[in-house]
Amino acid sequence: MIGISKKHICALLLLLGSLQTSAGEELSSHIINTLLSGTKKSPYPIAFQRDFVVVSIDSLSFGQTNNGTTALVNLKKKDVTKTIFTWKSGKWNYTNEAPTSLQKSEQNEFIEFIQHFSDNKEFQINHTVFPFPINTLHGKEQTKRKLIMPRDWDHLSISDSYPQLLFFKTTADGSNRKITIFKNKEISEEYNFIRINKQWYLIEKYEYE
């Protein structure tokens, strides 16, 4: 992780947990480091390697160490590119890509929710839990916490600001989603969502100084 700021390392450790260098290294760690390093070997678009958004289920862990699949969702083009990695010769290797339509994506329900959530102010208010906590962190230390009520709410337009979302797990299971926003290769914000009675709700935000 040479060349990455100390500030970023602290935030990344919070996001990924303790990074491992054994055969059990999380694929998520490998992908994040690849994106941050700007290597030409990355299967993701160059334009995506500076400011990017990761969507994970509960955490960035795949739960297995022999294979893994990510899904890069392009909201404007309405398509999905699955990227498949395998563990070989002591490291993760990009294997191939499999394009598919947005409608056939396992994450289509959450994607549709995010688009509606971004486009409709009333829907967004009704699918945000208030008082809404905004937590500010400096490295690992929380420096500030404030609660926002609906009258003070600033509309959040994720799909307009970030038309490409990288899903770190392509199945539709789990009742939690975390959206992590990287700006200029550093973690900027995190948004946590929870699914209750088949409806998604935004429950908290983290900001990184």
Calculate the CA 72 to chain-centre distance.
Answer: 11
What is the per-residue pLDDT across 133-179, written as a single tens digit (0 to 9) for each? 999 988 778 889 999 999 999 999 988 888 899 988 766 677 889 99
Q: Which residue has the tokens 């002591």?
A: 90
Whether the pLDDT of residue 202 is over 90: the answer is yes
Name the residue ranges covered by the structural domains of the chain.
Answer: 6-208
**pLDDT value for 39:** 63
Residue 143 structure tokens: 């420096």
Residue 61 structure tokens: 């862990």
Whether the pLDDT of residue 13 is over 60: the answer is no
What is the per-residue pLDDT across 47-57, written as a single tens digit (0 to 9) for each? 777 788 989 87
Burial class (CB in 10 A: 0-12, 13-18, 19+), 165: buried
**pLDDT value for 16:** 45
Pairing of strands 79-88, 91-101: antiparallel
Smallest CA-to-CA distance from 138 within 14, 33, 3, 53 is with 14
Residues 74, 181, 139, CA angle at the centre, nearest 5°?
160
Kindly provide the b/e burial profile for residues 75-100, where b requires at least 16 CB atoms within 10 angstroms of the residue's own CB.
beeebbbbbbbebeeeebebeeeeee
Predicted TM-score (pTM) of this structure? 0.81
Residues 24, 19, 32, CA angle at the centre, nearest 5°?
95
Whether the pLDDT of residue 120 is over 50: the answer is yes
- Report, as an integer, the average pLDDT of 76-87: 86
Smallest CA-to-CA distance from 97 within 81, 110, 111, 86 is with 81
C-alpha distances (whole Å) from 31 to each of 104, 148, 160 are 24, 34, 24
The rounded distance, in Å, linking the Cα atoms of 158 and 117 is 8
How much of the chain exceeds pLDDT 90, in percent? 33
**pLDDT value for 4:** 44
Least confident of 20-29, 101-110, 143-152: 20-29
The rounded distance, in Å, linking the Cα atoms of 111 and 105 is 9
The rounded distance, in Å, linking the Cα atoms of 166 and 180 is 10
Helix (H, G, I), strand (E, B) or coil at 92: strand
